[in-house]
Amino acid sequence: PPLDTLLNLDEIEAAATSQISKKCWAYYFSASDDLHTKTLNNLAYRAILLRPRIFIDVTHANTSTTLLGHRVSTPLYVSPAAMARLAHPDGEAGIARGVARFGALQLVSHNASMTPEQIVADAAPGQLFGWQLYVQTNRAKSEAMLARIARMPERYKCVVLTLDAPVPSKREDDERAALEVRGVVEAARSPAVVGEGGKPAVDAGVGKKLFFGTAADLTWETTLPWLVKHTALPIVLKGIQTHEDAFLAARYARKHPGTVKAIILSNHGGRSLDTSPPAVHTLLEIRKYCPEVFDTIEVWVDGGVRRGTDIVKALCLGAKAVGVGRAALWGLGAGGWKGVDRTFEILQGEIETCMKMMGAKDLSELGPRFINTRAVERD
Ligand code: FNR
C-alpha cells in the first residue's frame, strides 16, 4: 500500500509484515516466553489517562530538547535494534535517512547489519548517533570497536551499554522460524532482501558476531571502570528495570563525573525476561523512592510505544527521551527509508497534536499534572 495511506503504527506493522520474510517477521515480532511484558509495555501507557487543560494558545508546540547536552528537535529516538537489513536493503543507513527530517537521535546496535562507518557515511549534517555495546567475552574485541567509534566523534555522541540481556532468552517465535545465527545471516543475504546482484547484506566483521551475545560477568565494580578507560564518550546504561538500579547508576554518576550520563529504562521490548516491568512502572518507582535520579542523570525509556500520547505520558513521568525499536524496523519493512520517514512523521505529528490538545506549548511544561496514573499505581 502507498505509505501515505498508512495512518498509524499498527498499519505500518501490517504493511511490513506482508512484505518481509517469515524469518524476519519472527525475529522482529518475537519476545520472550508468553509476550506478557511486550504486551504490558503498551498497555501500561493506555492505562494512564491525560488531563488536558483548555483556553491556552497552542498555535505552536515546541518539541525540541537536549540529550546529553546536544540539541535535538524531538524527544523521540531510535532504539538500537539488530539486523535492519533483514527488512530492507536500506538497512540502518535507511533508518538514518528516514529520521533525518525529524532530527532524531539514532542508537546503532552492536549487531547492526552494516558497519558503524557505513551507517553514518551519508547521514545528514548534524544528525547524531550513539553506538550500543554488548561487551564481548574477549574484551579486546570490544576495545577495538570502541576505538573505531572514537574515530567518528562528530557522529557518535555516546556509548550505550546494554545490561538486560546477560544470557539468551526463550523466544519461541524465533525458534519456530528456525532462526539461528546462520539463518539470520543467510536471510539477510538473500536476493529477495538485498536485491539481485546486491552486495552481501551483512558485513562479515559485524554480522558474524550476531547472537554471540554479551559476556555474562559484567558488574558495576569491574565493567564500568574498564569501559571508562576505553571510551571518552558519555555512557548510557540500557536495561534498568528497578529503582534500586536507577539509584546505583545515579550514585555512580555522582561519584564519577563525566562517565554515566543517562540510563534507559527498558526491558528490551519484552525480549529478555518475561513479566519484567514496563518502563512506566520503573518511572513511577523512581519518582516514589529516589526522585533525585531525575536531577542527576537523564532518564530515557523505550518499549511499547505505538502513539504520540504514549511518548508524552513518558515525558510527563520524567523521561527526557523516548525510544522506538520495532517501529523503525516495521517502517523499514513497509517501504525502506521512506517507510521510516512515514513512521516518524506519524509519531511526531501525534506528539504535537497531543501537546496542543493538553495545552502544553513546550516539552519543559510537561509533568505529572497532565496525567492520571491511578490505574497503574497499585503497589
Ligand atoms: C532489539 N533490542 C536491542 N537492544 C539492544 O540494546 N541491542 C540490540 O541489538 C537489540 N536488538 C533488537 C532487535 C530487535 C528485532 C528488537 C525488536 C529489539 C531492544 C531495543 O533496543 C528496544 O529496547 C526495544 O525494541 C523497545 O521496544 P519496542 O519499541 O520494540 O516495543
**DSSP one-letter string for 270-296:** GTSSTTPPPHHHHHHHHHHH-TTHHHH
Burial of 46 (0-12, 13-18, 19+ CB in 10 A): middle
Q: What is the pLDDT of residue 182?
A: 53
Question: Which residue's CA is the nearest one to ligand 1's atom 5?
Answer: 80
Question: Which residue's CA is the nearest one to ligand 1's atom 16?
Answer: 81
Is the Cβ–Cβ distance between 20 and 87 less than 8 Å?
Answer: yes
Q: What is the pLDDT of residue 331?
A: 98
206 pLDDT exceeds 80? no
Is the Cβ–Cβ distance between 247 and 287 less than 8 Å?
Answer: no
List the one residue out of 120, 82, 294 whose CA is nearest residue 202: 82
pLDDT class of 198 with cuts at 50, 70, 90: very low
205 pLDDT exceeds 50? no
Beta carbon of 278 within 6 Å of any ligand 1 atom: no
Burial of 55 (0-12, 13-18, 19+ CB in 10 A): exposed
**HSE of 37, CA atoms in CB hemisphere, 13 A:** 24
Q: Which amino acid is at 109?
A: S
**DSSP, res 126:** T
> What is the whole-number distance in angstroms between the Cα of residue 358 and the centre of ligand 1?
30
The angle subtended at Cα 326 by Cα 34 and Cα 150, nearest 5°, is 120
Beta carbon of 9 within 6 Å of any ligand 1 atom: no
243 as an active site residue: the answer is no
Question: Which residue's CA is the nearest one to ligand 1's atom 18?
Answer: 81
pTM above 0.90, yes or no: yes
Is the Cβ–Cβ distance between 193 and 113 less than 8 Å?
Answer: no
Q: Please tell me which residue, 266 or 204, carries the higher pLDDT value.
A: 266
For residue 80, the ligand 1 atom closest to its alpha carbon is 21
Beta carbon of 157 within 6 Å of any ligand 1 atom: no
Q: 279-289 vs 36-47: helix axis angle to the nearest 10?
A: 60
Beta carbon of 75 within 6 Å of any ligand 1 atom: no
pLDDT class of 213 with cuts at 50, 70, 90: confident
Helix (H/G/I), strand (E/B), else coil: 335: helix
- Check if the interface score ipTM surpasses 0.95: yes
C-alpha distances in Å from residue 286, one per residue of 44, 243, 244: 16, 5, 8
Answer positive or negative: Cα dihedral of 246, 247, 253, 256: negative
Beta carbon of 272 within 6 Å of any ligand 1 atom: no
281 as an active site residue: the answer is no
Cell numbers that stand for 377 in this block: 499505581
Helix locations, 190-278, DSSP H: 191-194, 204-207, 223-230, 243-255
Cell numbers that stand for 87 in this block: 527488512
Which range is least confidently modeled, 59-63, 178-182, 228-232, 332-336?
178-182
End-to-end CA distance of the chain: 45
Q: What are phi and psi of 62, to 5 degrees?
A: -100, 120
* Mean residue pLDDT across the chain: 92
pLDDT per residue as tens digits for the range 266-296: 999 999 999 999 999 999 999 999 999 999 9
pLDDT class of 186 with cuts at 50, 70, 90: low
Q: Which of 13, 21, 86, 271 to mutate to test the pocket of ligand 1 (most atoms within 8 A of CB)?
A: 271
C-alpha distances in Å from residue 81, one per residue of 163, 164, 377: 14, 14, 30
List the one residue out of 269, 255, 262 whose CA is nearest residue 158: 262
268 as an active site residue: the answer is yes
Q: What is the pLDDT of residue 333?
A: 98
Question: Which residue's CA is the nearest one to ligand 1's atom 23?
Answer: 268
Q: What are phi and psi of 370, to 5 degrees?
A: -90, 0
C-alpha distances in Å from residue 274, one per residue of 244, 314, 340: 19, 21, 28
Place of cell 509484515: 17
pLDDT class of 265 with cuts at 50, 70, 90: very high
> What is the whole-number distance in angstroms between the Cα of residue 267 and the centre of ligand 1?
9
Sequential DSSP letters for 288-323: HH-TTHHHHSEEEEES---SHHHHHHHHHTT-SEEE
Q: What is the maximum alpha-carbon separation in the chain?
A: 60
Helices and strands counted in the chain (H then E)? 16, 12
Q: Which of 39, 85, 109, 202 to mutate to test the pocket of ligand 1 (most atoms within 8 A of CB)?
A: 109
